Amino acid sequence: MPISWMCALASVLVVSGVSFAGVAALALNTQRQQQVIFLMVSLAVGAMFGDAFIHLLPEAFRTAESSPAISVSILAGLLAFFLLEKFLLWRHEHVPHYGDCIQPVGYVNVIAEGLHNLIDGLLIGASYLVSIPVGLATTIAVLLHEIPQEMGNVAILLHAGFGTTKALSMNFLSASLAIVGALLALTVGTYVTQLPAILLPFTAGGFIYIAGSDLVPELHKEREPIKSLQQMAAIGVGVGLMLLLLLLE
């Protein structure tokens, strides 16, 4: 196996392992855990909006040949995740449930994050095809980007009703699509170079939909001024982390 393949696969395995970044919050007692999840959902809102508007969309417009096509892809992402959640809500109401009931936003988030991780894998694999230093630089950028995002993802899944073990396993399943993306880039090479350009704005649309339609309304259920300020601070931290990554990439 070529050294570039070995490095790329090792990189995406590390990136996938970052999906357990939120496990530290789970070691807390139940009351403290709820407080952490409350702040982590706010962090996820900031990270999703920041990722979409600061990273995904600028990169999409930078690499795209047609700006209207990017705009259509963003709208397609918004509409696709709206329809997906509409279907899950319909199923949620009409199909009998046994045991704990999972809110549709949990599954929608897993799919959106899966697409995002697939893109990360494609970018890492393609970077290693250029050179090992370029691949390492891309891996570091992805890792720095994923840590705050994955912590928020675990909080969203727990908030949606997943148990601890299932939340971690679903988040890891989503993260492991980075391995699929890297393998695609390594095996198909130049044939998938246009795929990130298509998926970036689509995924951005999904993130905007989840953060704006599902998570922000949840945050509005909290009316206490102090906790509302904490929410705003956590959202600001999420956006700030995405801005900080521009200096490190």
Place of tokens 């951005």: 204
Say what the pLDDT of residue 98 is: 46
Under-50 pLDDT residues of the chain: 97-99
C-alpha–C-alpha distance, residues 160 and 154, integer Å: 10
- Kindly provide the b/e burial profile for residues 136-159, where b requires at least 16 CB atoms within 10 angstroms of the residue's own CB: eebbebbeebbebbbbbbbbbbbb
Say what the pLDDT of residue 32 is: 65
Backbone phi and psi for residue 193, each to the nearest 5 degrees, phi listed first: -65, -25
Say what the pLDDT of residue 1 is: 65
Specify whether the CB–CB gap between 107 and 166 falls below 8 A: no
DSSP letter (8 states) at residue 131: -
C-alpha–C-alpha distance, residues 177 and 180, integer Å: 5
Whether the predicted model's global pTM rises above the 0.75 cut: no
Say what the pLDDT of residue 17 is: 83
Say what the pLDDT of residue 20 is: 74
Specify whether the CB–CB gap between 80 and 206 falls below 8 A: yes
DSSP letter (8 states) at residue 99: S
DSSP letter (8 states) at residue 194: T
Question: Domain extents for the chain?
Answer: 3-248
Say what the pLDDT of residue 28 is: 53
> Is 92 in a helix, a strand, or coil?
helix
> Is 162 in a helix, a strand, or coil?
coil
